[in-house]
């Protein structure tokens, strides 16, 4: 299991949130007496590792297994399934129970849905004639604290489900998660939403407050002053660009899962080839916390300085006499040696990737597309990628970026690229292209692109970006400021009104709501800058802005928001919540589907 991140310095009391989630899981185990086999949906297993240690589950009499198509290997007579409400998972459960009955095994079965049960899932259990054999319940884990300032709703497919499948169940889950947070931290007085899904979540949240009100009578100033909801669809440019922060690049190259990366042991200095090493990446690692949000160019310099300093300390130690106090300082520095070694190894691996001509050429092409410099050059580059049969996700990622910044492609170019893609990668990918068209990520151009206006008005391209001493969020992409974060910055400081004309050029409606329940709520943000009057909570800390991404957030955007949060004049400290953490590859991957 991944290392559980420390939440000691969290701006919100996330420890209480994690304790509550842990209690929900342990209560299920306590209520089922004796030894039991806890069979966990693999995706959920990663989330579980951020809440409760395996040793604690064992203390409660649970053997832990991951759900798959194989028979359950256990001597336990009680089997507890902890699963998301997904139809394919129901089929696996049925397969395992049928296997047990065919062998004459008599067991008690319990199915707990996370976060809530679904009629369609129970229908499958009934059709497979196993429903009567099990006890069914719910485990309401709506939100998982991933780190001190990051929450996840663990809804990996929300973007595709909403845009392609027309399934908006995830939006109710998001609203429910926020409403549950409000019961712990107070009613959020200001709600600003941009995008079809976000506006809908804001509406559902309003209805939930009517049906099950959060009591505000005892509260003077709420901890969370402002909620910003934003659809991933509003800004599909940012995730399609290659992230250049240390954490973002680690995700691009190695894919971070539940606060850890899995790499070959040889990368980390191990001797055994083929063995895997799991490297935790969260704020419990003080060095990682210091460098995670820096541009990768700067990280290499920082690690070099730390290693040089350590070497110098060692030289001084061996050549001159030391006082006890100096010895103590040296030993304390030695304790950080494993962290330095770990990140030097990871940085060295990333460097071999970022120094490749193919990586640099791709980065250059991304900047050309975003700056809207030359349609023909970009088109030819993508065409060449297809003809060389470069990995499909690499092609789709750049093609989506190209299409989004041009509001689609002229019919001739669109038809040609579509035909070439199917010839190169197989006609079974017709479904993939249909999914991308439904989501509006690959389409025929119907009107002139607004990208130039949006780019210029929001100053998304920043020349001569100083990555070592950044003055602007553009450092996370070495010159491009994430559109999403520019919008969030404006929304937190002034509300939507000053940028309404820009918002109209972006996908989906927008809304701004002031919610009743506070004596002073009518005056909140009534004028630009008015939020400064209500930016302190009871103990003098800044109140919070909760930024929610529906459809995924990238690590680069999280870094940019942390940078914003640290700036002088920012009225609120920012915490980020998202359906999941994405990069261009993982996002494009959700749309890939083969016919047959």
Least confident of 321-335, 506-520, 571-585: 321-335
**In whole angstroms, what is the distance from residue 207 CA to residue 209 CA?**
5
Contact 516, 210 (CB under 8 A): no
pLDDT value of residue 450? 94
pLDDT value of residue 525? 36
Least confident of 205-209, 319-323, 354-358, 484-488: 319-323
Rounded mean pLDDT, 83-94: 95
Is there a shared CATH topology between the 146-237+466-587 domain and the 246-354 domain? no
Contact 399, 382 (CB under 8 A): yes
Rounded mean pLDDT, 156-176: 94
pLDDT value of residue 526? 36
pLDDT value of residue 517? 58
Whether 145 shows a pLDDT value over 50: the answer reads yes
pLDDT value of residue 528? 41
Residues 6+ apart with CB under 8 A from 373: none
Domain 14-141, second-level architecture: 3-Layer(aba) Sandwich (3.40)
Rounded mean pLDDT, 395-411: 96
Give me the percent of the chain exceeding a pLDDT of 70.
90
Cite the beta strand spans of 465-517 per DSSP E. 510-514
Backbone angles phi and psi of 374, in degrees to 5? -150, 110
Least confident of 24-28, 136-140, 530-534: 530-534
Q: Of the candidates 172, 197, 173, 177, which has an alpha carbon nearest to the alpha carbon of residue 188?
A: 177
**b/e code 388-410 from CB counts within 10 Å (16+ = b):** eebebbebbbbbbbbbbbbbbbe
Whether 427 shows a pLDDT value over 70: the answer reads yes
Q: Which helix (H) or strand (E) holds 65?
A: strand 62-66
Least confident of 208-217, 219-228, 266-275, 483-492: 266-275
| The pair of three-digit structure tokens given for residue 129, joined into one six-digit string | 């004639």
pLDDT value of residue 182? 94
pLDDT value of residue 521? 35
pLDDT value of residue 530? 39
Q: What is the DSSP string of 280-320?
A: E-STTSHHHHHHTTSBHHHHHHHHHHHHHHHHHHHHHHHHS
Neighbours of 369 (CB within 10 A): 26
Q: Which helix (H) or strand (E) holds 36?
A: strand 36-40
> What are the pLDDT digits (tens) for 209-233?
999 999 876 555 789 999 999 999 9
> What are the pLDDT digits (tens) for 117-129?
999 999 999 999 9
Cite the beta strand spans of 131-246 per DSSP E. 134-138, 144-147, 150-152, 190-194, 224-231
Whole-Å CA distances, 363 to 151, 395, 466, 477: 30, 13, 18, 10
Sheet of 144-147, strands arranged across? 144-147, 150-152, 573-578, 544-550, 224-231, 190-194, 510-514
> What are the pLDDT digits (tens) for 536-577?
665 667 889 999 999 999 999 999 999 999 999 999 999 999
Bridge-based pairing state of the strands 190-194 and 510-514: antiparallel
In the DSSP assignment, the letter for residue 461 is B
Rounded mean pLDDT, 254-270: 90
Quickly state the pLDDT bin for 335 (edges 50, 70, 90): low
Q: Of the candidates 222, 239, 225, 161, which has an alpha carbon nearest to the alpha carbon of residue 197?
A: 161
Whether 595 shows a pLDDT value over 80: the answer reads no
> What phi-psi label fits residue 546: left (phi over 0), alpha (psi between -120 and 50 degrees) or beta?
beta
pLDDT value of residue 81? 97
Domain 246-354, second-level architecture: Alpha-Beta Complex (3.90)
In the DSSP assignment, the letter for residue 479 is S
Rounded mean pLDDT, 173-187: 94
In the DSSP assignment, the letter for residue 279 is E
In the DSSP assignment, the letter for residue 79 is E
pLDDT value of residue 174? 97
**In whole angstroms, what is the distance from residue 74 CA to residue 76 CA?**
5
In the DSSP assignment, the letter for residue 78 is E
Contact 123, 107 (CB under 8 A): no
pLDDT value of residue 373? 78
Q: Of the candidates 592, 374, 343, 576, which has an alpha carbon nearest to the alpha carbon of residue 482?
A: 576
**Whether domain 146-237+466-587 has CATH 3.40.50.1910:** yes
Least confident of 7-11, 55-59, 246-250, 289-293: 7-11
Bridge-based pairing state of the strands 190-194 and 224-231: parallel
Whether 329 shows a pLDDT value over 70: the answer reads no
pLDDT value of residue 523? 33
Name the residue with higher pLDDT: 457 or 534.
Answer: 457
Whole-Å CA distances, 489 to 110, 462, 482, 579: 46, 16, 11, 20
Rounded mean pLDDT, 335-339: 73
Domain spans in the chain, listed from the N-terminal domain onward: 14-141, 146-237+466-587, 246-354
Whether 236 shows a pLDDT value over 50: the answer reads yes
pLDDT value of residue 442? 96
**b/e code 86-105 from CB counts within 10 Å (16+ = b):** beebbebbbbbbeebeeeee
Task: Give long-range contacts, CB 8 A cutoff, 24+ apart: 389-392.
Answer: 389/424, 389/425, 392/425, 392/429, 392/592
**In whole angstroms, what is the distance from residue 574 CA to residue 570 CA?**
9
Contact 245, 556 (CB under 8 A): yes
Whether 165 shows a pLDDT value over 90: the answer reads yes
**In whole angstroms, what is the distance from residue 339 CA to residue 328 CA?**
19
Q: What is the DSSP string of 39-64?
A: EE-HHHHHHHTTT--HHHHHHTTEEE
> What are the pLDDT digits (tens) for 56-84?
999 999 999 999 999 999 999 999 999 99
Residue in the block written with tokens 């409403």:
179
User: What value does the mean pLDDT of the chain take?
Assistant: 90
Angle at the Cα of 55 from the Cα atoms of 49 and 61, rounded to 5 degrees: 110
H, E, C per residue of 542-571: ECEEEEEEECCECHHHHHHHHHHHHCCCCC
Contact 170, 162 (CB under 8 A): yes
Backbone angles phi and psi of 281, in degrees to 5? -135, 90
pLDDT value of residue 417? 96
Rounded mean pLDDT, 474-496: 97
Q: Of the candidates 152, 48, 141, which has an alpha carbon nearest to the alpha carbon of residue 549?
A: 152
Name the residue with higher pLDDT: 82 or 516.
Answer: 82
Say how far residue 203 (Cα) sits from the centre of its chain.
23
Whether 511 shows a pLDDT value over 90: the answer reads yes
Whether 168 shows a pLDDT value over 70: the answer reads yes
Global pTM reads 0.92
């Amino acid at each position: 299991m991944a290392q559980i991140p420390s939440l000691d310095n969290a701006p919100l009391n996330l420890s209480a949130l994690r304790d509550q989630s842990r209690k929900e899981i342990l209560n299920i185990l306590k209520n089922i007496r004796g030894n039991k086999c806890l069979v966990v949906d693999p995706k959920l297993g990663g989330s579980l590792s951020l809440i409760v240690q395996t040793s604690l589950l064992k203390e409660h009499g649970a053997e832990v297994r991951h759900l798959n198509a194989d028979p359950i290997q256990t001597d336990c007579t009680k089997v507890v399934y902890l699963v998301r409400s997904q139809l394919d998972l129901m089929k696996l459960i049925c397969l395992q129970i049928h296997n047990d009955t065919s062998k004459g095994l008599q067991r008690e079965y319990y199915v707990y849905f996370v976060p809530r049960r679904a009629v369609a899932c129970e229908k499958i259990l009934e059709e497979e004639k196993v429903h009567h054999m099990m006890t069914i319940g719910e485990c309401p884990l709506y939100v998982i604290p991933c780190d001190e300032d990051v929450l996840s709703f663990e809804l990996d497919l929300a973007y595709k489900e909403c845009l392609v499948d027309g399934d908006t169940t995830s939006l109710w889950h998001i609203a429910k998660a926020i409403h549950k947070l409000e019961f712990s931290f107070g009613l959020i007085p200001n709600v600003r939403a941009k995008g079809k899904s976000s506006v809908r979540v804001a509406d559902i949240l309003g209805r939930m407050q009517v049906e099950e009100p959060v009591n505000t009578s005892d509260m003077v100033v709420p901890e969370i002053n402002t909620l910003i909801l934003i659809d991933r669809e509003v800004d599909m440019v940012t995730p399609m660009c290659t992230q250049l922060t240390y954490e973002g690049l680690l995700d691009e190259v190695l894919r971070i899962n539940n606060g850890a990366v899995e790499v070959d042991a040889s990368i980390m200095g191990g001797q055994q080839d083929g063995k895997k090493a799991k490297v935790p990446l969260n704020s419990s690692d003080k060095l990682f916390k210091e460098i995670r949000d820096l541009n990768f160019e700067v990280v290499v310099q920082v690690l070099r300085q730390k290693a040089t300093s350590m070497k110098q300390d060692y030289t001084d130690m061996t050549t001159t006499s030391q006082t006890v106090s100096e010895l103590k300082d040296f030993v304390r520095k030695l304790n950080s040696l494993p962290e330095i070694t770990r990140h030097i190894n990871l940085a060295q691996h990333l460097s071999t990737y970022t120094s490749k001509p193919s990586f640099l050429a791709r980065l250059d092409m991304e900047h050309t597309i975003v700056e809207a410099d030359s349609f023909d050059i970009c088109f030819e580059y993508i065409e060449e990628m297809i003809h060389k049969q470069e990995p499909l996700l690499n092609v789709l990622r750049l093609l989506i970026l190209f299409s989004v910044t041009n509001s689609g492609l002229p019919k001739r170019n669109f038809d040609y690229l579509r035909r070439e893609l199917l010839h190169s990668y197989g006609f079974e990918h017709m479904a993939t292209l249909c999914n991308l068209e439904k989501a509006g990520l690959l389409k025929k151009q119907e009107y002139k692109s607004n990208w130039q206006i949006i780019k210029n008005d929001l100053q998304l391209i920043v020349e001569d970006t100083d990555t070592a001493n950044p003055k602007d969020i553009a450092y996370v992409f070495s010159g491009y400021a994430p559109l999403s974060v520019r919008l969030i910055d404006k929304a937190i400081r002034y509300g939507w009104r000053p940028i309404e004309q820009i918002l109209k050029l972006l996908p989906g409606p927008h809304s701004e709501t002031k919610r009743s329940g506070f004596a002073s709520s009518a005056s909140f943000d009534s004028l630009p800058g008015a939020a400064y009057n209500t930016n302190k909570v009871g103990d003098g800390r800044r109140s919070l802005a909760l930024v929610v991404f529906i459809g995924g957030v990238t690590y680069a955007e999280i870094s940019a928001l942390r940078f914003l949060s640290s700036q002088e004049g920012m009225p609120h400290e920012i915490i980020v919540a998202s359906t999941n953490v994405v990069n261009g590859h993982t996002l494009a991957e959700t749309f890939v589907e083969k016919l047959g």
